Amino acid sequence: MAHNKSHATFGRLLLTGAAGGLGQQLRPRLAKYARHVRLSDIADLAPASGPHEELFQTRLEDSQAMLALLEGVDAVIHLGGISVERPFDEILQANIVGVYNLYEAVRRQGVRRVVFASSNHVTGFYRQDEVIDTKAPPRPDGLYGVSKAFGENLAQFYYDRYGVETVSIRIGSSFPVPRDARMLATWLSYDDLERLVARALLAPVVGHTVIYGVSANTVKWWDNRHAAHLGYVAQDCSEPFREEVMAQQVPLDPQDPASYAQGGAFVRAGPFE
Amino acid sequence: MAHNKSHATFGRLLLTGAAGGLGQQLRPRLAKYARHVRLSDIADLAPASGPHEELFQTRLEDSQAMLALLEGVDAVIHLGGISVERPFDEILQANIVGVYNLYEAVRRQGVRRVVFASSNHVTGFYRQDEVIDTKAPPRPDGLYGVSKAFGENLAQFYYDRYGVETVSIRIGSSFPVPRDARMLATWLSYDDLERLVARALLAPVVGHTVIYGVSANTVKWWDNRHAAHLGYVAQDCSEPFREEVMAQQVPLDPQDPASYAQGGAFVRAGPFE
Amino acid sequence: MAHNKSHATFGRLLLTGAAGGLGQQLRPRLAKYARHVRLSDIADLAPASGPHEELFQTRLEDSQAMLALLEGVDAVIHLGGISVERPFDEILQANIVGVYNLYEAVRRQGVRRVVFASSNHVTGFYRQDEVIDTKAPPRPDGLYGVSKAFGENLAQFYYDRYGVETVSIRIGSSFPVPRDARMLATWLSYDDLERLVARALLAPVVGHTVIYGVSANTVKWWDNRHAAHLGYVAQDCSEPFREEVMAQQVPLDPQDPASYAQGGAFVRAGPFE
Amino acid sequence: MAHNKSHATFGRLLLTGAAGGLGQQLRPRLAKYARHVRLSDIADLAPASGPHEELFQTRLEDSQAMLALLEGVDAVIHLGGISVERPFDEILQANIVGVYNLYEAVRRQGVRRVVFASSNHVTGFYRQDEVIDTKAPPRPDGLYGVSKAFGENLAQFYYDRYGVETVSIRIGSSFPVPRDARMLATWLSYDDLERLVARALLAPVVGHTVIYGVSANTVKWWDNRHAAHLGYVAQDCSEPFREEVMAQQVPLDPQDPASYAQGGAFVRAGPFE
Amino acid sequence: MAHNKSHATFGRLLLTGAAGGLGQQLRPRLAKYARHVRLSDIADLAPASGPHEELFQTRLEDSQAMLALLEGVDAVIHLGGISVERPFDEILQANIVGVYNLYEAVRRQGVRRVVFASSNHVTGFYRQDEVIDTKAPPRPDGLYGVSKAFGENLAQFYYDRYGVETVSIRIGSSFPVPRDARMLATWLSYDDLERLVARALLAPVVGHTVIYGVSANTVKWWDNRHAAHLGYVAQDCSEPFREEVMAQQVPLDPQDPASYAQGGAFVRAGPFE
Amino acid sequence: MAHNKSHATFGRLLLTGAAGGLGQQLRPRLAKYARHVRLSDIADLAPASGPHEELFQTRLEDSQAMLALLEGVDAVIHLGGISVERPFDEILQANIVGVYNLYEAVRRQGVRRVVFASSNHVTGFYRQDEVIDTKAPPRPDGLYGVSKAFGENLAQFYYDRYGVETVSIRIGSSFPVPRDARMLATWLSYDDLERLVARALLAPVVGHTVIYGVSANTVKWWDNRHAAHLGYVAQDCSEPFREEVMAQQVPLDPQDPASYAQGGAFVRAGPFE
C-alpha cells in the first residue's frame, strides 16, 4: 500500500481495538493522516501493510503496557474494549479499567488528543420519537452504555484537570449497510466514520466535545448542534436502503421498549446471571 | 389508474375531507400506500377511480356514522372539517365535535395511527420576525386556530391515555404555487404534502408528534427540530416564485398585524356577528 | 354582612359558577373588592347577603343571556362550567360553548379583565417526579382537561386580537384540607385561592398569564416563575396535614398512572359509553 | 434508646457505610422511620442500640455478601464506599464494583428504593460564579467524582430497565459546622441531611431524581428546581458561621482552580503515582 | 461617627458619585467595610466624617484624574455618571467616556473588583407581564439604558481580557419608599442596596456577574437565579406601602408603553432636540 | 456600468463606509436594488459609475451633515466607522458618536430600515469549541467589539421606541479567500455578503434582527436559527481552501486565547497606551 508521508499531519497515531470490526475499517484509512500508525489489540492483527504500521498486542487492563503503548504517540483513536452488552466483569475490565489506563498513559506521555469511541447506548433509553442533543442527561440502556458514560466523564475530567482534549463519538450503527428499521436512523457508513474521525483529530480546538456518530440519514434522533465546530459533514444516507430494509423488517411490538427505545434490542439485553 | 397493491403498507387508509382542496390532491396519491383507500366527505366525491377506493358521505358531527366509517381502518388522514375562519357554530360542529367523534371512533375501532391536519394558525399571532418551534405555547389567530389547538390537545390525550398515535401537521399554505409574500415562507407544495403525510403514516414511533407542514423555503418561521424523527425532507422551495410573487404583492402596512403576524390576514378575520 | 364600599376597586365584579364549591367560598370574599358583586349560576343561589349582590340564573350556553349578564361588568371571575370528567356532550356545552359565549360577551361589553378557572388537569399526564412550568406543552388527562386548555387558548386569542386580559389559574385541589397524598402537592387553601384571585384581578398588566393555583406546599410539581409579575404569595401549606393524610392513604400501585401521574385518579376517569 | 415502632414507615431500612462520618450521624436518626434498621460497614460498628438494629460487616466488593445483605430490605441508604479522592484501584473497588453489587442485589431482592450518596464533586469543575442545576452535564473534579457519576448513571439505568427508584443526593459538605469560605455555599447540616434523606425515602414517586444536598445557605451554586417534587426544605443556614469562618480563612489565589472551582481543593487532589 | 477599623475587609474603597442620591446613602455605610473610604464626585461633597474618609472632586471624563483617583484603591463602587435620560452629549461624556476611564484606571492601578451601578433600564422595553433573567438580551428604554449596557459590556471585556471582576447591579428604584405602582415591583430599599453592595464586594468569585438590584417585593419581573452565588438576600418588601401607593396612583392608559413596559415613564423620555 | 432601473426595489439606498474594503465590494452590487445609490465616506470615493450614484464625503461625527446625508434615503447600509481594534478615542468618535448620529438622522428623516455592519467580535471571547446563537450574552474581545454591541443596543432601542427596523450583521471575516485556520470558520465571501445584505434589505418584517455574517462553511461556531426568517442561504464555503490555508498556518499555542477564542488575534490587540 502506498503511503503518502508528505501530507501526514501527525507523526504517530495510535489506533486501539485495531482488530475489531471498526478497527479493521479505519486501519488502512489512517495512513494518510500520520507518518506512523500504531495499532493495538488483544486479538491478532493482520500483518503490517508497510513500514508505517507498528503492531502491538496490548491488554487495556495492563497499565504498564498501556504506558508503553502511548509512548511517542501524538493522538489516539480509542476503539478498544467491549462494544456490546456483556457481564459486568468483562465490561469492568475492558471499558472501565481499560479507559482509565488509557487516560493515565495519555496524561503521562503528554498525548494531547483522544478520539474516544463512545456509543449511542449512553442515551439508549430515550424514545424514538424524542430528538435529543449531546447535553441531554444520560439514559444508558445497559452496563455497556453506563461504561461509555464513564469514559466520557473521565474524558471531561482529564480535559478540565490536565488539558487533554477528547472528542467522544457516540457511534450509532456502523456497518456496511443498515440492517433493520432502527438503523435507518442510526446508521454510520464507514466513509462517514472516517470523515468524523478525521475531523475529531484535526479540529484545532475541541476541549471535550461529544458528538453522535451518524450519517446524514433523513430520520434523525440526535442533534449535533453543540458539536458544529468540528465541521463534520456526513455524506452518506440510509434512505436508499429503506425499501430493502423495510421489506425484511419483522413486525415490532409497540409495547416493547426494544421497539420504541432508541437503543433498540440493547434495552433488553442481559442481565447475565 | 393503476394500483400497485404489492407495495401497499396499509390494508385500509381513511381520508376524511376527501372532496376538499387538499383532499383532492392526496386522494390519488394514497393508492400506493394501501390496498384500500376509504374516502369520506360531506360534499360529493368524484367516482371511485378503481376497486381500491371506498366512498362514504359522512358527517363528522354524526358519531354513529363516524364509528362505522372507522371500521376496518388501519390509519386515518383527517383533513375533514373547516379550514378557514368561520362563525363559531360552524367551527364547533366540524372541528370540535367532529374531531372528538373521530378520536372516539378511532379508539373504539382500534385504529392505531392518525395524521391530523392541524394548522399554522394555531400559532398565527407570533410575529414574522420570530422563529418558533413546535413546543412554543399556542397563540391562535382565530377561532379556527383555537379549534386546531383543541384537536392537537385531544390527540395528545388519546395518546397518553389510550396509546393512539398521532402526527399533527400544522399545514402552512398548500397551493399549487405561493400566492403572496407571506406564502414565500408558508408554502407547502402538494408533493411535499404527500411526502410529509407518508412519513407521518410510516414512521415507526411517533407518540403525538407536532410538525409544521412547509416546503424547504429559504424564509423560515418554523423550526421542526423536535420532529426530526419523522424523517420528513421537503424537496420543493418557494424561491423560484419570488420574483413573480413580489411583483404582484400589494404594499403592506407595517402597523397592521395582518402584515407582521405569521397568520397574515387570518389575524383580522371575523368576528362574525 | 357589612360591605365596606370605600375600599372597593371595581365597580362591578361578576362571579360565574357562584353556587359551586369554590363559588360559595369566593362569594362573600369578593365584597371587599367591588361595590357590586354580580353572581351567576344555573343552580339556585343563596339569597343576596346585601344590596351589593346581584343574582342571575344564567346558562353559559345561552349566548344572549350571557351578553346581558356581562353588561356593566368591570371584571369577571369565571368559575362556571363543569369541573370534573364528564361525558363529552356535557363538557362541550358548559366548558366549550360556555367559555366562548363568555368571551364574546366580554368582548362586546368591553370588559377588560377575566380570571379564568382553568385546571391542573390541563397537564395531568405529566409524572409526579417532573416539575413543569406554565409553558410546558399541555398533556391533558381527560376531556375536562382538554376543555380547560381550550379556554386558555381562547383567552390567549382574545388578548392577542382584542386586548382582553386574562389570568388563567390552573387550580390544583381546593378543599378545606388536603384529602390524600396527592393533595399534599396540589392543595390550594381557600384563603390562598382568594389571594390569588385578588392578584389576578388587581395586577396592572397581565396580558394572558397562566399560573398554577396552589398553596405554599413543600412538595412542588409546578413552577410559577413566568407568573411572578402577579405577586401571588401563598401563605398556607399542606405540610401540617401530612401525618393525618398519610395515615389514611390507601397503598398506591406504582404501575398505575393514577398513582404516578400528576392528575391522579382523573387519568383513568371515563370514557363514558 | 427508645424506638417508637408505631410510626415507622418501613419494615427494614439498610444503611451502608454506617461506621463512617455521616453514617454515624444518620444511624440513630433512622430508628423512627423503620421497625428494623440494618447497618453495614467494613469498619467496626458500635454495638446495636436496641433490638431494632441489625449489624453486618459486609464488603461492597463481595457480590454474594451484598446479595445477602439486601435480603428482606425495603429501602437502602447507600453511604458506603470512598468519599474522598483516592488512587483509582480503591475507587474502582469501593465505588464502582461496590455500587454495581449494590444495585444487582437490590434488583434481585426486589428492593424498590435507593437513596444514593452521590457528591457535588460530580460537577466540581464548574466555577463558583456559575449556578447550575441537576441537568447540567457532569464536570467531575477527580476520580471520586467520576465514580459518583458512574453510580448516578447506573441508578438511571436500573430505573429505566428494572423500575428501581433512586434519589441521588449530591452531598455538599456535611459537617457539624462550615469550616471554610467554600463551605458557606456547600454546607449541609446533619439535621438537613436527615430531612433530605427522609424525603428521599418517603416521596411517593421519584423515578431517578438527582438533588444537591445542601442547607438553606444564602450563597447558592446549585439549583434544585428539578427536584422540587421531593419536598425537601432545608432549615439550617451557614450564614451565622460566616464571621468566624472568614476570620480564619487563608487568602485564596484567584488564579488557582482550587479557589474558583466549585469543587475547591478536590480539583487539585491527586494524581496518586 | 465611630469607625471600627478592626472588622474592615478592605484597605481602601472608592465610591464614585458620592454626592448623588444613592451616594449619600451608601457613604456612611461603607465605613464598616474599609479602613479608608475614598469619595469622589464633581459636585460638592459633605465634609469628611472622620479620618477614614478621603474626598476627591474628579471628573469622570478626565482620564488622568481618574488614574490618580484609583491609586491605592482595593475595590470601587461606581455610582458616578448620569442616572436619568438626558441628551446624548451628556450621556456620552459621563456614562461612556467616564466608565471607560474608570476601567482603564482600574486596570492600570491593579484594582481587582468593581461594583458597577447599572440600571433596570437596560431592559426597560420588556413588558410588565414578562419575567426576565439576567441573560435576556438587552432592550434598553433610552440612551441612558444603552449607556448602561455599554458599561456592562465593557465590564465583561475587562474581565475576559484582564481578569478585573465586576458585579453589575441593575438598580431598580432606590428611594426611601416606593412612589408609584411600578415601584411596587422595582423598589430597592437603601438597606437592601447596602446588603447587595456588600455581597458584590465580598463574594469570593464573581467574574462578571449581572444582578437586578431589587428588594424582596412580592411582584417580581426579574429573576436573579444566575446570580445566586452572590448570596444576596433582600429583607425589605414594598408590600406594606401598597395601599398608600395605590390610593395615589393616577390611572394608567393600557395602550401607553409607559404603562405596560418595565421601564415605565423612561420609555417615553426624550428625544431631546 | 449598465443600471437596470426597472427592477430596483428602493428609490434611494445609502451606503456608508463606501470607500472601505467591504464598501468597495458592495458598491457596484447595490445598483440593482435601487434607482439611486448614495455613497458616503470620509476617504475619497472613486468617481460615480453612472448617474444613479450620489457621492458624499461625510464625517459620522458631524450630526448636521449626517442629517443631510440621510435626506431622501429609503434604507441605509451602515459600513462606516472603524473595523479593527484602535485606541478608544477613535472608536468613540467613529463607532459610538457616529452610530448615534446615524440613528438620529434615520429617525428624523423617516428612514425605515438599517442594515448595520456589526461584528463577530461582539462575542469574540467565546471559545472555538462553543457554538453560540445570537441571543448569547455579549463577550466582546476589545473596544471595537464593545462599540459594535453599543450599536446593536442602540438599534434595538430605535426599534422598540421609534419603529426603525435594523438587521445587525455580525460580520465574520469577509475577504476574497480565507487567510488562516480561523477563517475556515469565519469566512464570508463577497457574494454571500451581498446575498445577506439583500435579504436584510428586503425581508418584509425584521424588527431588530441579529445575524452572524458567515458563508456556508463546514466548521460552524454560530447558530443563526433566530434569524431564519431573513431567508439568508449562504452558497459559498471555505472548505476548498482548507488544504492551502492549513499548509501555511503557523502553529498555534493551545494556551493562548488568540488560539482558542473565537475572536482570534483580536483578543490580544491593545491596549494602546
> What is the domain partition of chain B in residue ranges?
10-268
Chains B and C touch (3+ CB pairs under 8 A): yes
Rounded to whole angstroms, the Cα distance separating C209 from C230 reads 9
Rounded to whole angstroms, the Cα distance separating F237 from B241 reads 26
Q: Which has the higher per-residue pLDDT, E140 or C255? A: E140
CA distance B88 to chain F (A): 31
Angle at F65 between CA F59 and CA F68, to 5 degrees: 135
Contact criterion met (CB below 8 Å) for F142 and F266 = yes
Residue of A nearest to F251 (CA): A204
Q: F141 and E160: CB-CB below 8 Å?
A: yes
Contacts of A125 in chain D (CB under 8 A): 156-157, 160-161
Angle at D199 between CA D196 and CA D205, to 5 degrees: 135
Rounded to an integer, the average pLDDT of F210-215 is 98
The mean pLDDT value of chain E amounts to 95
E126, E128, E129, E262: best to mutate for the C interface, most C CBs within 10 A: E129
Rounded to an integer, the average pLDDT of E15-37 is 97
Residue of B nearest to A258 (CA): B205
Contacts of E160 in chain F (CB under 8 A): 125, 139, 141, 267
- pLDDT tens-digit readout, B3-23: 444 456 899 999 999 999 999
Whether the per-residue pLDDT at F41 is higher than 60: the answer is yes
Position E1 confidence tier, pLDDT thresholds 50, 70, 90: very low
* Per-residue confidence (pLDDT) for residue E250, from 0 to 100: 87
Whether complex ipTM tops 0.90: yes
* Per-residue confidence (pLDDT) for residue F8, from 0 to 100: 65
- pLDDT tens-digit readout, B109-130: 999 999 999 999 999 999 999 9
Q: D204 and C259: CB-CB below 8 Å?
A: yes
Tell me the C-alpha to C-alpha distance, in Å, between residue D4 and each of B154, C154, D10, D33.
50, 55, 12, 9
CA distance C156 to chain B (A): 6
Write out residues in chain A with pLDDT < 50, as ranges.
1-6
CATH architecture of A10-268: 3-Layer(aba) Sandwich (3.40)
B205, B208, B230, B232: best to mutate for the A interface, most A CBs within 10 A: B205
Length of chain C: 273
Query: Catalytic: which of B144, B158, B212, B232?
Result: B144
- pLDDT tens-digit readout, F226-259: 999 999 999 999 999 999 999 998 888 888 999 9
* Per-residue confidence (pLDDT) for residue A8, from 0 to 100: 66
CA distance E246 to chain F (A): 28
Candidate from A138, A143, A157 with C-beta closest to D146: A157
* Per-residue confidence (pLDDT) for residue C8, from 0 to 100: 66
Position E7 confidence tier, pLDDT thresholds 50, 70, 90: low
Chains A and B touch (3+ CB pairs under 8 A): yes
Rounded to an integer, the average pLDDT of F82-87 is 96
- pLDDT tens-digit readout, B164-221: 999 999 999 999 999 999 999 999 999 999 999 999 999 999 999 999 999 999 999 9
Tell me the backbone φ, ψ of residue A80, rounded to 5 degrees: -60, 160
Whether the per-residue pLDDT at D7 is higher than 60: the answer is no
Position C7 confidence tier, pLDDT thresholds 50, 70, 90: low
- pLDDT tens-digit readout, E169-218: 999 999 999 999 999 999 999 999 999 999 999 999 999 999 999 999 99
- pLDDT tens-digit readout, C177-220: 999 999 999 999 999 999 999 999 999 999 999 999 999 999 99
Candidate from A163, A206, A225 with C-beta closest to F131: A225
E160, E192, E205: best to mutate for the D interface, most D CBs within 10 A: E205
* Per-residue confidence (pLDDT) for residue B1, from 0 to 100: 38
Q: How far is CA A191 from the centre of its chain?
A: 14
Chains B and D touch (3+ CB pairs under 8 A): no
Sequential DSSP letters for E129-164: T--EETTSPP--SSHHHHHHHHHHHHHHHHHHHH--
Catalytic residues of E: 144
Rounded to whole angstroms, the Cα distance separating A61 from A97 reads 6
pTM for this one? Answer: 0.97
Whether the per-residue pLDDT at F171 is higher than 80: the answer is yes
Contacts of B267 in chain C (CB under 8 A): 160-161
CA distance E84 to chain C (A): 24
- pLDDT tens-digit readout, E121-140: 999 999 999 999 999 999 99
Chains that touch D (3 or more CB pairs under 8 A): A, C, E
The closest alpha carbon to D55, from D77, D70, D75, D40, belongs to: D40
- pLDDT tens-digit readout, E42-92: 999 999 999 999 999 999 999 999 999 999 999 999 999 999 999 999 999
* Per-residue confidence (pLDDT) for residue A251, from 0 to 100: 85
First vs last C-alpha separation in chain B: 47
Rounded to an integer, the average pLDDT of F60-83 is 98
Question: Three-class SS string for chain D?
Answer: CCCCHHHCCEEEEEEECCCCHHHHHHHHHHHHHEEEEEEECCCCCCCCCCCCEEEECCCCCCHHHHHHHCCCCCEEEECCCCCCCCCHHHHHHHHHHHHHHHHHHHHHHCCCEEEEEEEHHHHCCCECCCCEECCCCCCCCCHHHHHHHHHHHHHHHHHHHHCCEEEEEEECECCCCCCCCCHHHHECCHHHHHHHHHHHHHCCCCCEEEEEECCCCCCCCEECHHHHHHCCCCCCCCHHHHHHHHHHCCCCCCCCHHHHECCHHHHHCCCCC
Residue B272 identity (one-letter amino acid):
F
Angle at D36 between CA D34 and CA D40, to 5 degrees: 110
Contact criterion met (CB below 8 Å) for A37 and A16 = no
- pLDDT tens-digit readout, E91-103: 999 999 999 999 9
Contact criterion met (CB below 8 Å) for A129 and B229 = yes
Range in E6-10, E172-176, F2-6, F61-65 with the lowest mean pLDDT: F2-6
Contact criterion met (CB below 8 Å) for A199 and A33 = no
The mean pLDDT value of chain F amounts to 95
Strands C208-213 and C132-133: unpaired
Rounded to whole angstroms, the Cα distance separating A38 from A80 reads 13
Catalytic residues of A: 144
